[in-house]
Amino acid sequence: MMTNRKEAIFAMLAATSIGAIWSGPLPFHGSRAMSYFVKFLDPKIIIALDHFQDEGEEYDQFDKIVSAAK
């Protein structure tokens, strides 16, 4: 759950280099949609940003990530 940034590309390349499947729901999706993605994919590892900034506005993702991972 990462924004379009270089770290997302690095994480995707690392994951696919070991044969993992990469799926990147955008953090702008609500917690319900992110929960659906997590349950559908049943991931072993989640790589996510806990917060990010877009057009000067700060977004805190920590609670969404925790609720989606449950």
26 found inside a domain: yes
Taking the C-alpha atoms of residue 52 and residue 70, their distance in angstroms, rounded to an integer, is 22
**Residue 27's pLDDT band (cuts 50, 70, 90):** low
Helix (H, G, I), strand (E, B) or coil at 58: strand
1 found inside a domain: no
65 found inside a domain: yes
pLDDT tens, position by position, 40-50 = 888 888 887 77
12 found inside a domain: yes
51 found inside a domain: yes
36 found inside a domain: yes
pLDDT tens, position by position, 51-63 = 777 788 887 777 7
Q: How far is CA 68 from CA 14, 47, 56, in A?
A: 23, 12, 26
- Amino acid (one-letter) located at 43: P
Whole domain around residue 17: which residue ranges? Answer: 6-69
- Amino acid (one-letter) located at 36: Y
